[in-house]
Each structure stands twice: as C-alpha cells, then as structure tokens.
Amino acid sequence: MTHLTRRQKATYDYLREHAAAFENPPTLDELCDALGLSSRGSLHKHIQALVVAGLVEPMDGKHRGVRLTEEASRAPGQLPLLGYIAAGQPIEALENPEAVEVPTHLRSDKPCFVLQVRGDSMIEDGILDGDWVVVEERTQANNGEIVVALVDEGEATLKRLLQRSGEVVLCPANSEMEALRYAPDRVRIQGVVVGQMRAYR
C-alpha cells in the first residue's frame, strides 16, 4: 500500500469501508460526489492507478461501476480458503472460496491461499488430518519442499517434492505409504506450503 498516493489510498479506503452503502458498485460520478471531488478526470487517474496496483477491477465496459478486486475486498490478514487438499491419494480439489484469518508470520509476502488437509500421508512432517496449510502461489518448487501438486490437470495432492531427470516423485511423510511417481508433464506445481494452523476443539 506504500506505493499509493494519499488521494489514491483515500479512494481505496472509501471503497473498502463503504461497499455496503451502495446498492451497486459506485460510478465515477457517485465517487466524485462521495469524496468531494470536482474533477471526474482526476478521479479516473486515481482509479487507474488502483487498477494497476491490483486493487480495483479494470473498467473495460464489462460491468458498471468501480469494483474492488476479490483480494482487495478481504479484510487485512485474511486469505481465501479454497477447499480441501488430500494428504493421501490424490482427490479433486474443491473450489469453495471463503475468508480465513491468517497471522502475518504464517504467510509470505507473495500471494497465498489456505487449504484444509484431509488424510494422514504427511503425519511424520507434523501435518495432520484437519489442519490448515498456508500455501504460497508458485509454479516452481525446490526439491524437499512440501507442495500442492496438480496431477493430470484434475487431482490435487499435498506431498514433499523430489524432481529427477524424466520423473517427478511426490513423497508422503508416512512410512506406511509409497511415493507417487509421474512423468514431468503430468504434474503442475500450484504452490508451496509456508505455514500451518491447527484447532484443538
């Protein structure tokens, strides 16, 4: 947020704090009135800066009004909970976005999301069934990192990554389970685990 000017930040703060006051996303004219501005052109420049910053959706004629992006609409400290991730055999990841409060020290400074773990294949790494993992969005990872891997573009799993020549190995942290081995073109990395949360109730 430090790269925004005072007026740009005031515009962003107003959109966040008064979203419920508008039946529909406000137009530039409505925002001018609300912010006490006389120049619609000047406000448009501020809005464009917020678009570049990823805080406001592009005003490309697809919809009416000025809309915050989904990420910018969330409260500070919140990340999207995208569903469940299997820590056993791969299952289909559920797309069910909610907002989850995540402490700053459990996330990185890059875009992150949260998944709830199902299964026990990572228990020897301390990741238990029902835990929430905080995942930094990435398309590449280093050997030894715990990753969210998409297999055959349809099933996601949580495993420790081992990349070899001509092979990707997804390793469980459970001595009773075997590693999953795939050709590299069958596996796509979606993120790397950077934090973990657990409820004791």
DSSP assignment of 93-106: PP---EEEE--GGG
What integer pLDDT is reported at residue 163 of this predicted model? Answer: 97
Mean pLDDT of the region 36-44: 84
Burial of 12 by CB count in 10 Å (0-12 exposed, 13-18 middle, 19+ buried)? buried
Burial of 23 by CB count in 10 Å (0-12 exposed, 13-18 middle, 19+ buried)? exposed
Distance, in Å, from the CA atom of 64 to the CA atom of 8, rounded to the nearest integer, reads 20
Q: What is the mean pLDDT of the chain?
A: 85
CATH no., domain 78-197 = 2.10.109.10
In the block, residue with structure tokens 């999207």? 80
What integer pLDDT is reported at residue 128 of this predicted model? Answer: 95
In this structure, which amino acid lies at residue 156? A
Where are the chain's structural domains? 6-73, 78-197
Distance, in Å, from the CA atom of 146 to the CA atom of 151, rounded to the nearest integer, reads 15
Show which residues are catalytic.
Answer: 121, 159
The per-residue pLDDT for range 126-157, each reduced to its tens digit, is 999 999 999 999 999 999 999 999 999 888 89
Q: Token pair for residue 20? A: 């419920």
CATH 3.40.640.10 is held by the domain 6-73: no
Asked if residues 25 and 64 have their Cβ atoms less than 8 Å apart, the reply is: yes
Asked if residues 66 and 28 have their Cβ atoms less than 8 Å apart, the reply is: yes
The per-residue pLDDT for range 94-117, each reduced to its tens digit, is 666 677 888 888 988 888 889 999
pLDDT band at 52 (very low <50, low <70, confident <90, very high): confident
List Cβ neighbours of 28 (8 Å cut-off, separation of 6 or more). Answer: 40, 43, 44, 47, 66
